[in-house]
Amino acid sequence: MADLFAISVYKLVIAVLSLFSIALLSASVFMPKGSEVARLIGYYDFGLCLVFLYDFYIQFSRAKSKTRYFFTYGWLDLLSSIPMIGTFRYARFFRVFRIFRVVKSLNLLWIFLRSHRRSSLYGIVVLLISLSVIVCSVAVLYVEKDVGNIRTADEALWWTFVSITTVGYGDFYPTTVLGRFISVLLIINGLVAFGTILSYMNEKLAAIKDAGPDTGREL
């Protein structure tokens, strides 16, 4: 049952990322070709595609009948793992079928979330922060590209990394009110992210420390 729960939560994460990937793909349609915002979306899309390709490998390796999996919906998973290259990028919409399959097991997922609140909280926080990082970096580039000093996709990525780690070199910074508001949200996300990571590490270290004496007595 535990493995079933774990697989269900994993599918939920993939479903959320699939929805987000479709949103990025839809947004890119309205962006001028060759624009810096479109290039930044392409960077993130490539990263998500690597996650989806790994998901295809996991699903393929776990399938009892690999041939049946591939010729039912496995080929759709593989096509949806292709980055924004030509017409193949629209295969991403096939992931809607994966989302429908996850929705059917929402009751199972809810039971898991209630019985594993602490571990679920860590996973949800990391997922939300990851999504907010992508949204904030794309949004600040869109807002600042014509009026601020964050004008390229590379500069937006660097600003995102510096801001979420609260280093604040000051070489790139938003100048508009909306851009600064986005920056505040990103910095808060960084504080929450590091707080969550430290809490998780402390919990694991405490568990190892508590298990130490027992292990010694068993030996």
**Looking at residue 94, what DSSP letter applies?**
G
Residues 6+ away with beta carbon under 8 Å from 193 = 125, 126, 129, 164
Q: pLDDT digits over 8-54, tens only?
A: 566 667 777 777 877 887 787 777 878 898 889 888 888 888 888 88
The pTM assigned to this predicted structure is: 0.73
Higher pLDDT, 176 or 14: 176
Residues 6+ away with beta carbon under 8 Å from 124 = none
Q: What is the mean pLDDT of residues 78-101?
A: 63
Which tokens belong to 198? 């430290």
Q: Where are the domains of the chain?
A: 1-115, 117-209
> Are the C-beta atoms of 174 and 143 separated by less than 8 Å?
yes
Residues 6+ away with beta carbon under 8 Å from 159 = 137, 140, 150, 172, 173
Q: pLDDT digits over 93-113, tens only?
A: 666 655 555 555 555 556 666
Q: Which CATH class, in words, describes the domain spanning 117-209?
A: mainly alpha
Q: How far apart are CA 46 and CA 49, in angstroms?
A: 5
Q: How far apart are CA 190 and CA 88, in angstroms?
A: 34
